[in-house]
């Protein structure tokens, strides 16, 4: 029997409209390396959503987006302040250190969110030639724990970054889920947070593959064409990434997909909260549920469902929903867990 996916939104397939767009882009030749019409149209879509000054560059994957963004934001003696469990710290195999050549300064995070107090503690010895110089704050929206920074929290981080001359990078692998959760548009999130560079996720929101690096601070974009190429993130047949973004952003597909994934997470959380032996550990703001459950239950559920054990010590699992999660799949999971 095929297992049902609650492991990751990366397990999900491609949204049918996105697949159609890929097929439609497959009509004969087109200019390579981003000189094609679909790429220009997708760049314009990003301007529509994020403001005319937004400069979009398409890349293959999220790690490539984050690392390339950090390459553009730091020099070799500079550091990035981020959450101790940020994707750039725990899930990119040291690529920021190897490729961007920058040190990561880690901040403890409650429910995946960092605070001004935490950042302040890492902001040391500025101007001291012996000490690495903090240059960037990197936050994930939504976070690795499925939580979402509120607009007030973003405002506070932004004010702090500006006061201390730090850039703000947002890992928006799931920014669509954050926008759906906050019931606001993408531009509001970016403006309130004072984002300089955004890694914009497509893969987890219904695309086959592809992410974008968006510069809201045009000075930082100056060398990005070359950085992207050096980082091996320049797609020759770029139109097939661009066409996916075009369809995702040209109507509300991006938002509808995210709304659905978030709603499914709420439905799952509601069901699991009724089961005494299961304890939900993080606020469910977006499309992930973290829960502690007995190991025997995890073993049994693993025979029918894909999901990750997040923290073996705590017996904590991560359940994730996506644009194609079905309500019946969740109902079956909750029923099996209850039994």
Ligand X SMILES: Cc1ncc(COP(=O)(O)O)c(C=O)c1O
> Which residues of the shown chain bind ligand X in the complex (CB under 6 A)?
10, 61-63, 87, 140, 144, 171, 173, 203
**Cα separation, 57 vs 258, whole angstroms:** 22
Dist. CA 189–CA 79, nearest whole Å = 24
Q: C-beta of 272: minimal distance to ligand X in Å?
A: 22
* Cα 188 from Cα 154, distance rounded (Å): 11
Identify which of residues 203 and 262 has a Cβ nearer to ligand X in the complex: 203
**Residues with Cβ within 8 Å of residue 262, at least 6 apart in sequence:** 177, 180, 181, 285, 286, 287, 321
CB of 261 to ligand X, least distance (A): 13
Identify which of residues 200 and 333 has a Cβ nearer to ligand X in the complex.
200
Residue nearest to ligand X (CB): 62
Q: What is the CA radius of gyration of the chain?
A: 20
Residue reference for tokens 């194609």: 324
Name which of 180 and 334 has its Cβ closer to ligand X.
180
Tokens of 324: 């194609």
Nearest-approach distance from CB 59 to ligand X, in angstroms = 9
CA–CA distance, 15 with 36 (Å, rounded to integer)? 23
For residues 284 and 321, the answer to whether their CB atoms sit within 8 Å is: no
- Using the Cα atoms of residue 303, residue 264, residue 170 and residue 163 in order, give the sign of their dihedral: negative
- Closest approach, Cβ 22 to ligand X, in A, equals 18
Could you give the angle at which helices 239-250 and 253-273 cross, rounded to 10 degrees? 70
Please, which residue, 209 or 332, has the CB nearer to ligand X? 209
Closest separation in Å from C-beta 232 to ligand X: 13
Please report how close the Cβ of residue 235 comes to ligand X at its closest, in angstroms: 14
**By C-beta, is 45 or 89 nearer to ligand X?**
89
Phi, psi (rounded to 5 degrees) for 146? 70, 15
Distance of CA 292 to the CA centre of its chain: 24
SS (H, E, C) 134-192: EEEEEEECCCCCCCCCCHHHHHHHHHHHHHCCCEEEEEECCHHHHHHHHCCCHHHHHHH
With respect to ligand X, which residue has the nearer C-beta, 61 or 281? 61
Q: Between 74 and 233, whose beta carbon lies closer to ligand X?
A: 233
Residue 189: CB minimum distance to ligand X, A: 15
Q: How far is the CB of 21 from ligand X (least distance, A)?
A: 20
Strand pairing of 133-140 and 288-292?
Answer: unpaired
Nearer to ligand X, 60 or 224 (CB): 60
């Amino acid at each position: 029997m095929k297992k049902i996916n609650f492991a990751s939104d990366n397990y999900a397939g491609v949204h049918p409209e996105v697949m159609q767009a890929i097929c439609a882009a497959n009509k004969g030749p087109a200019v390579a390396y981003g000189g094609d019409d679909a790429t220009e149209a997708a760049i314009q879509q990003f301007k529509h959503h994020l403001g005319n000054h937004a400069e979009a560059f398409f890349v293959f994957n999220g790690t490539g987006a984050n690392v390339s963004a950090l390459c553009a934001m730091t020099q070799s003696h500079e550091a990035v302040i981020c959450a101790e469990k940020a994707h750039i710290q725990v899930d990119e195999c040291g690529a920021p250190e190897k490729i961007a050549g920058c040190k990561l300064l880690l901040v403890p995070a409650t429910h995946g969110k960092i605070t001004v107090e935490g950042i302040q503690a890492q902001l040391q010895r500025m101007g001291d030639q012996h000490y690495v110089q903090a240059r960037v704050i990197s936050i994930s929206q939504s976070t690795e724990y499925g939580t979402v920074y509120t607009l007030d929290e973003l405002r506070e981080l932004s004010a702090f970054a500006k006061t201390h001359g730090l850039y703000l990078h947002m890992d928006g692998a799931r920014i669509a889920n954050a926008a759906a959760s906050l019931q606001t548009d993408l531009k509001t999130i970016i403006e309130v947070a004072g984002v300089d560079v955004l890694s914009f996720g497509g893969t987890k929101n219904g695309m086959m593959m592809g992410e974008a690096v968006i510069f809201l601070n045009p000075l930082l974009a100056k060398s990005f064409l070359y950085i992207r190429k050096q980082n091996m993130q320049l797609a020759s047949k770029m139109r097939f990434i661009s066409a996916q973004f075009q369809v995702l952003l040209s109507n509300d597909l991006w938002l509808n997909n995210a709304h659905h994934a978030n709603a499914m997470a709420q439905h799952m959380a509601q069901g699991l909260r009724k089961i005494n032996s299961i304890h939900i550990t993080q606020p469910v703001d977006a499309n992930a549920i973290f829960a502690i459950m007995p190991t025997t239950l995890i073993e049994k559920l693993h025979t029918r469902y894909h999901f990750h054990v997040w923290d073996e010590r705590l017996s904590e699992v991560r359940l994730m929903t996506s644009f194609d999660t079905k309500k019946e799949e969740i109902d079956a999971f909750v029923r099996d867990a209850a039994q």
